[in-house]
């Protein structure tokens, strides 16, 4: 039987809505045979996910999606096949948790200036032991009736340049790639099209990423047209990077994105799982 891969998704430990075990169950129902759980900046969901995966006979790849800063901009690096008990990575995750916590306080203050009260209490309660993300703020703004969708929450308040945006210094790109490699993992540039880089910047980023030891880019992500897939394949080939495939699933309410529902990787691209066997 052919394997079905989905190497990028989120649980309630970061900004997804499903528990790690429910997420794994859903993936299995959707026909996924190899799943990577890649919560933002944390490995805390992997133990629970692993129990369900073992029960269901699904192969779970231990993953993480690290927030990094490069040239003053935030990028996401997925780490695949990491040793999730590698102590420095667990400590790094604590450091990122604190950065997120402090950023959340400042986002809440900015919302208060717009006379939107109570955000801090709501998001810290919603995130619980997990990571506080801007998605939590978006959900709070929806619940309170300020916006109708997450998209609107980002467009009106949370995105760069909007009233409640807080610029954040994450860890360096170099540091992020290094941590992933030291934890035995493969560093993958997540959703390369989402950063809105022109060709010159994209080439610069990929050159640096490759030099630092990055090994793959997401050639296939959630919603992509064939031109976008071609463009990503072109970059993968040009920079001799393997290709990854991941839905970036967060929430079953998003009708456009489902676990395992992804285009196939073009044949000319070396699949990232060939680096993991």
Residues in contact with Mn ion by the rule CB under 5 A: 15, 65, 76, 190, 248
The nearest distance, CB 40 to ligand AMP, in angstroms, is: 5
Residue 156: how many other CB atoms lie within 10 Å: 16
Select the residue interacting with ligand AMP from 89, 134, 209, 243 (CB under 6 A).
134
CA distance 89 to 256: 33
Nearest residue (CB) to ligand AMP, 75 versus 154:
154
Greatest Cα pair distance in the chain: 57
Contact 170/99 with Cβ under 8 angstroms? yes
Residue that the structure tokens 């499903």 belong to? 18
Residue 215 or residue 248: which is nearer to Mn ion going by CB?
A: 248
First to last CA, the chain: 17
CA distance 29 to 14: 22
User: Does 135 sit near ligand AMP (CB under 6 A)?
Assistant: yes
Contact 67, 96 (CB under 8 A): yes
* Residue 250 engages ligand AMP in binding (rule: CB under 6 A): yes
**140 is an interface residue for ligand AMP by CB under 6 A:** no
Q: How many helices (H) and strands (E) does the chain have?
A: 9, 8
Stretch that binds ligand AMP, among 83-91, 132-140, 218-226, 264-272 (CB under 6 A): 132-140
> With CB cut-offs between 5 and 8 Å by kind, which of Mn ion, ligand AMP, none does residue 244 bind?
none
150 forms part of the interface with ligand AMP (CB under 6 A): yes
Candidates 149-157, 177-185, 201-209, 226-234; binding stretch for ligand AMP (CB under 6 A) = 149-157
The interface region with ligand AMP, picked from 148-156, 177-185, 204-212, 213-221 by CB under 6 A, is 148-156
Residue 15 sits in the site that holds ligand AMP (CB under 6 A): yes
Structure tokens at 41: 């900046």
Considering Cα of 171, then 190, then 178, then 241, what sign does the dihedral take?
Answer: negative
User: By the criterion CB under 6 A, which residues form the site for ligand AMP?
Assistant: 15, 40, 67, 133-135, 150-151, 154, 250
């Amino acid at each position: 039987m052919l394997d079905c891969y989905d190497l990028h998704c989120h649980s309630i430990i970061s900004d997804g809505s499903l528990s790690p075990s429910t997420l794994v169950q859903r993936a299995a129902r959707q026909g996924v045979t190899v799943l990577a759980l890649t919560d933002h900046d944390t490995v805390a969901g992997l133990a629970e996910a692993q129990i369900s995966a073992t029960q269901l006979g699904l192969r779970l790849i231990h993953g993480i999606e690290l927030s990094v800063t490069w040239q003053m901009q935030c990028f996401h690096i997925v780490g695949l096949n990491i040793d999730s008990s590698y102590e420095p990575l667990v400590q790094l995750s604590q450091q990122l948790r604190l950065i997120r916590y402090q950023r959340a306080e400042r986002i809440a203050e900015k919302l208060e200036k717009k006379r939107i009260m109570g955000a801090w209490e709501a998001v810290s309660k919603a995130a619980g032991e997990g990571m506080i993300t801007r998605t939590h703020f978006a959900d709070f703004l929806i619940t309170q009736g300020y916006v109708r969708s997450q998209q609107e929450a980002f467009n009106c308040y949370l995105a760069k340049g909007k009233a409640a945006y807080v610029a954040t210094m994450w860890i360096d790109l170099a540091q992020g790639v290094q941590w992933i490699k030291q934890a035995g993992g493969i560093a993958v540039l997540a959703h390369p099209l989402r950063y809105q880089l022109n060709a010159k910047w994209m080439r610069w980023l990929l050159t640096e990423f490759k030099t630092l030891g990055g090994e793959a880019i997401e050639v296939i992500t959630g919603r992509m047209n064939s031109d976008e897939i071609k463009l990503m394949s072109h970059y993968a080939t040009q920079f001799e990077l393997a290709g990854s495939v991941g839905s970036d699933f967060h929430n079953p309410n998003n009708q456009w994105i489902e676990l395992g529902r992804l285009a196939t990787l073009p044949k000319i691209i070396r699949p990232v799982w060939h680096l993991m066997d």
